[in-house]
Structure 1
Amino acid sequence: MSKYSIPSKIFLEMGGWRQPLMMVDRIDDFKYGENGYVKVVKHVTYNDPYLLGHFPDDPIMPGVIISEIFGQASEYLSFFTDICDIYAERYNEELRSLQDIHARITSNEMLEIIRTRRAQVRGVLAAQNLKFKEIAYPGDSIEVTSKLAFSDSNGFKHYAVTANVGKKLISHGTIINFREIY
């Protein structure tokens, strides 16, 4: 668990999702740059609405919901990268980690960057190539890592993603998000 938490009000402004579709409970790590990544956590609870009809006598986390976690984590990676780029351009100061963002997250300058950028970005989960190896159950915490593999000229970002419950790999593969900047 990161000691650099983002206040919930600001966390909600950063993502384009609201309950019941908000699939990231916590952002644990972020690294900016060529080998950058984001690590997020989703806690699977017994009262999650999508579990009610998914094998009601033996509830498990649906694979399509794990795909959504991958998509949202990947968008957070792109969004954090965006705000780091904008901040560096405006203030000539590099932000390279979650700790750096945390140190500036409540400043008026950073809040303005976050709100403006969120209003400019539209995106969707466009495609996926995932392999599911294990199952996540209510009570588990799914830890997702997303790394940008490459971006293409048509606005598609390809991310290498993994999901673990503890040390157990439950899914991995590629998520492709489409993003437009207005």
Structure 2
Amino acid sequence: MAKYSIPSNVFLEMGGWRQPLIMVDRIDDYKYGENGYVQVVKHVTYNEPYLLGHFPEDPIMPGVMISEIFGQASEYLSFLTDICDLYQESYSEELKSLRDIHAKVNDENMRNIIRNRRSQVRGVLAAQNLKFKDIAYPGDTIEVVSKLSFSDSNGFKHYSVSAHVGKKLISQGTIINFREVK
């Protein structure tokens, strides 16, 4: 379990996804800044709806769903960075880690920032360049790290991503999300 977990109702306010497409079970770590990153976890359960038809005799986690984990993790990185920036702008206090966010997440000012920002941002997974090196099976826990490589002037954010099951690297590459603020 994460050292600093975020209450599930706030977690849902932060993401634009609902079941059955929530592909991030937990945010384990976040670092703000130039070398910032987010680390998330997805537990692959035996009853995932997409596993039923994907190699029914030998179910494995579909690569396209791993891509979705990468996309959602990357959006969480951008979203957490947004709320840290907005909180500092409004209250002159820096938030640089998941611990800092956790300390403020039940504060109504922070909740308002989260809700307002979620209503303003729209994003989609735009492109991917991934290499799949191994397989995730039902019962595995996938740990994903996403780091922002760069943003371009057209609203595309390029992230370096990797996925591990234990110490085994199963996928890595680049995810590009498009984000716009309404």
* In 2, Cα distance between equivalents of 1:109 and 1:27: 21
Match of 1:7 in 2: 7
Instruction: Please give the residue correspondences for 1:102-121 in structure 2 after superposition, counting only pairs within 5 Å.
Output: 102-121=102-121
2:11 counterpart SS class: helix
Match of 1:65 in 2: 65
1:109-133 CA-partner distances (Å, limit 9, x unpaired)? 0000000000000000000000000
Answer yes or no: is 1:99 the counterpart of 2:125: no
2:21 maps to 21
Q: C-alpha distance in 2, partners of 1:151/1:10?
A: 27
Secondary structure at the residue paired with 2:106? coil
The separation in 2 between residues aligned to 1:79 and 1:169, in whole angstroms, is 26
Does 2:147 match 1:147?
A: yes
Paired with 1:153 and 1:11, the residues of 2 have a C-alpha distance of 29
Q: TM-score, normalised by structure 1?
A: 0.99
Deviation at 1:138? 0.2
Deviation at 1:3, TM superposition (A): 1.2
Counterpart of 1:74 in structure 2 is: 74
In structure 2, C-alpha distance between the alignment counterparts of 1:5 and 1:36, rounded to whole Å? 19
Distance 1:87 1:16 in 2: 20
**Aligned residue identity for 1:69:** I
SS in 1 for 2:10: helix
Distance 1:11 1:59 in 2: 29
TM-score (norm 2): 0.99
* Residue of structure 2 in register with 1:159 after alignment: 159
> 2:169 is matched with which residue?
169
Residues in 2 aligned to 1:128 and 1:170: alpha-carbon distance in whole angstroms: 15
Name the count of aligned residue pairs: 182
Segments of 5+ residues of structure 2 without an aligned counterpart are: none
SS at match of 2:174: strand
Structure 2 CA distance, aligned partners of 1:12 and 1:156?
Answer: 24
Counterpart code for 2:69: I
Deviation at 1:134, TM superposition (A): 0.2
| Distance in 2 of aligned mates of 1:135 and 1:164 | 10
Secondary structure at the aligned position of 2:4 is classed as coil
- Indicate whether 1:37 and 2:37 are aligned: yes
2:131 aligned partner: 131
Please give the per-residue CA displacement for 1:51-96, whole angstroms capped at 9, x wherever unaligned: 0000000000000000000000000000000000000001001000
SS at match of 1:9: helix
Q: What SS does the aligned partner of 1:143 have? A: strand
Which amino acid is 1:71 matched to? G
Unaligned runs of 5+ in 1: none
The 4+ residue runs of structure 1 with deviation greater than 3 A are none
| Amino-acid identity (%) | 80
Compute the displacement of 1:2 (Å): 2.0
Q: 1:8 & 1:2 partners in 2: Cα distance?
A: 13
